[in-house]
Structure 1
Amino acid sequence: MLEVSRLNVAYRESHVIKDISFSVREQESVAVMGRNGMGKTTLLKALIGMLPARSGSIRLNGRELADARGYERVRQGLAFVPQGRMIFPQLTVEQNILTGTEYSGYRAVPDYIYRCFPVLDEMKSRKGGNLSGGQQQMLAIARALVSDPKVLILDEPTEGIQPSIIKDIARTLNLLRKERQFAIVVSEQVLSFALDLADRFLVIDGGRIVHEEARATLDQDKVRSFLTV
């Protein structure tokens, strides 16, 4: 489904992502783990087109996207929930969600969004800036989902969110990826959340993937060793 091959990304003269290759199967959830500054966010921004690739390939269902603009990648089936959520604080919940429907054709918020995120239904007329951090994260995810993605990309979705909400988000994402048939790529430092969500783990260190393992056989102590300073 999603195939990344020998991807290299640089900030000016700083070579951040170094020859990374990995794949994501249909409806699979893949966690990219690593400490701050190891290249997780840079990798995800390169996938969605916010940063240009110096070289390498990004293919979705056989279509090359490495040189495509961000909106073209969304149209082809990638969706992105950025670190820090980046909702529109002056728009209502409903208006925020509808900003994500440009390529899916929805004229109203689809029923499954409010069914899976009932708090957003209760607060659909409230401004996004008045929601809690956890509620804003749900809103950001909902806005990405209404583009009907094939791959949902999330950057540090647990940042600043209380543990009970983190559990709810993982449970909802697992339900939705089966129901709506999309895959997930998530960058994360909280191992418990990744264990609830991911089928496979990639550990990135110094801009390279240094470890890969399925959840069923995961050596949690080894992964934790890459997450500690």
Structure 2
Amino acid sequence: MLDISRLYVSYGESQVIRDISFTVRAHESVAIMGRNGMGKTTLLKSMIGLLPVHAGEIRLDGRAISGLPSYRRVQHGLAYVPQGRMVFPFLTVEQNILSGAEHSGHREVPDYIYRFFPVLKDMKHRNAGNLSGGQQQMLAIARALISDPKVLILDEPTEGIQPSIIKEIAQTLNVLRQERGFAVVVSEQVLSFALDLADRFLVIDRGCIVHEELRANLDQEKVKTFLTV
């Protein structure tokens, strides 16, 4: 479904992503684990088109999308929830969600979004800046989902969120991806969240994939060595 092949990404003369290749299958959830500064965010930004790729290829359903701008990648089926959520604080919850609907044609918030995130329905007329961190994360996910993605990309979704809400978000995403038929790529440092959500784990270190394992066979202690400073 989503194929990343021999990807290289640089900031100026500093090469951050080096020769990364992996595939995400339909409905699969893949966690990209690693410490800060190892290239997780850079990789995800290059996938959605916020950073240019210097070499390699990104294909979605067999179509090369590496040279497309971000909005065209959204049209083809990618959706992105950035680190820090980046909601519009002075727009209402409903306006925030609908701001992601440009390429899907939705003029109203679909019922399934409010069914999975009932707190957003209760607060739909409240400004997003007045929500808690966990509620803003739900809002950012809802805004991405309204584009009807094939692949949902999440960057550090647990940052600044209390543990009970983290578990709730993982459970909701699992049900959503089965019901709505999308895949997930998530960058994360919280192993417990990734274990609740991911089918497969990739560990990135200094811009390279250094370990890959299915959840069923995961050596948690080995992964933890890549997450500790």
TM-score of the aligned structures, taking structure 2 as reference length: 1.00
Is residue 68 from structure 1 mapped to residue 68 from structure 2 by the alignment?
yes
Determine the structure 2 residue equivalent to 1:11.
11
Q: Tell me the alpha carbon deviations over residues 134-158 of structure 1, each in whole angstroms, 9 at most, x when there is no partner.
A: 0000000000000000000000000
Matches within 5 A, 1:113-192: 113-192=113-192
Q: In structure 2, what residue type is equivalent to 1:12?
A: G
CA distance in 2, matches of 1:102, 1:180: 19
* 1:78 positional shift: 0.2
Determine the structure 2 residue equivalent to 1:51.
51
Determine the structure 2 residue equivalent to 1:96.
96
Residue 91 of structure 2 aligns to a residue in which SS?
Answer: coil
Q: In structure 2, what residue type is equivalent to 1:18?
A: R
Q: Tell me the alpha carbon deviations over residues 164-220 of structure 1, each in whole angstroms, 9 at most, x when there is no partner.
A: 000010000000000000000000000000000000000000000000000000000
Q: Tell me the alpha carbon deviations over residues 16-49 of structure 1, each in whole angstroms, 9 at most, x when there is no partner.
A: 0000000000000000000000000000000000
Q: In structure 2, what residue type is equivalent to 1:150?
A: K
CA distance in 1, matches of 2:164, 2:123: 19
Q: In structure 1, what residue type is equivalent to 2:8?
A: N
CA distance in 1, matches of 2:55, 2:143: 30
Determine the structure 2 residue equivalent to 1:85.
85
Residue 27 of structure 1 aligns to a residue in which SS?
Answer: coil
For structure 2, list consecutive stretches of 5 or more residues without a partner in the other structure: none
CA distance in 2, matches of 1:114, 1:89: 19
The count of aligned residue pairs is: 229
CA distance in 2, matches of 1:6, 1:171: 33
Instruction: Percent identity, please.
Output: 75
Q: In structure 2, what residue type is equivalent to 1:174?
A: N
CA distance in 1, matches of 2:148, 2:102: 10
CA distance in 1, matches of 2:89, 2:107: 21
Q: Which runs of 4+ in 1 moved over 4 A?
A: none
Across the aligned residues of Structure 1 and Structure 2, the Cα RMSD in angstroms comes to: 0.3
CA distance in 1, matches of 2:165, 2:148: 24
For structure 1, list consecutive stretches of 5 or more residues without a partner in the other structure: none
